Amino acid sequence: MRYLTIALPKGRLLEPILKIFAEAGVTAEGVSEDSRCLVFTREELGIRFVLAKPADIPTYVEYGAADLGVVGKDVLLEAGKDLPELLDLGVGGCRIVAAVPAGSGVTDVTQLETGSRIATKFPRIARSYFNQRGLRVEIVKLNGSIELAPGVGLAEAIVDLVDTGRTLRENGLVAVNNIAYVTTRLVVNRSSYKEEHERIAGIVGRLRAVSPVSQAARQPAATPASVAQAASMGPSQVTRLAPAAPAAQGAPVTPVSQMAQKAVGANA
């Protein structure tokens, strides 16, 4: 029996993800953010855990270097990979929003001037969102601290993740449009899913039973057929399916703890 390899993301989501895996009886012993070792083998489970940068996890799974991967929907949308999602683990819930300086008078991105600059670490998601609305803007790719950009004249608006809303507030910004709700997903390599369907389905079943969004009615068990269907859905379609209702100017942002149920709706 070969090892099933599961790629887990380094960073702040690692701990809640490990907790779900432990509750599901798929304990990733020894895996820790502080460890310098990146591969952890559980002989008795036939599972190997690997720790990777979140943005790289879709690549490991796409190439089959990992059979399964745990990764945020934001990363999946941005990566634009054709990876079937098996489960919403319901952690890391937050929103991707468009935000502008408070007091700018802009209450919707359609009011931005043509050629406005939009700073983001999600250029694919941002471009797709603005293109779909026929808005001609310049997307400026940054790697972090996105909320800094409008205040120093780099951009008129940003597209970024919002969790508690504190970073927006403290930098004088308000969310004007919701682009997507994101949570953490379990994704699979398509060949692995065919070849190791029984073992993978077993792990998915255990995780589903303990996942915060485990209501069976909302998450029907994935089958090879449904996975094939999901796989045929391109990233642009997924983006189109994400909710895009305007956010009320200065509206309070829902914290992570209250996002999990809402986020299920984005898992269409």
Binding site for ligand PRP (CB under 6 A): 144-147, 160-167
Q: Which is nearer to ligand PRP, 117 or 169 (CB)?
A: 169
The minimum distance between CB 231 and ligand PRP, in angstroms, equals 29
Size (the chain), residues: 268
115 vs 144, which CB is nearer to ligand PRP? 144
* Least gap, CB of 61 to ligand PRP (angstroms): 22
Of 17 and 222, the one with the shorter C-beta distance to ligand PRP is: 17
Strand 85-88 to 184-188 pairing: antiparallel
Indicate the residue whose CB is closest to ligand PRP: 144
How does DSSP classify residue 247? P
Taking the CB of residue 49, how many other CB atoms lie within 10 A of it? 27
CB of residue 16 to ligand PRP, shortest distance in Å: 15
Q: Looking at beta carbons only, is 43 or 170 nearer to ligand PRP?
A: 170
Integer Cα distance of 6 and 247 in angstroms? 36
Least distance from ligand PRP to the Cβ atom of residue 104, Å: 19
Q: Which is nearer to ligand PRP, 114 or 143 (CB)?
A: 143
Cβ at position 4, least distance to ligand PRP in Å: 29
* Helical ranges in the chain per DSSP H: 14-23, 57-62, 73-79, 123-132, 148-151, 166-170, 190-195, 197-210, 224-231, 235-241, 260-264
* Residues 264 and 218 sit within 8 Å (Cβ to Cβ): yes
Cβ–Cβ < 8 Å for 90, 263 = yes
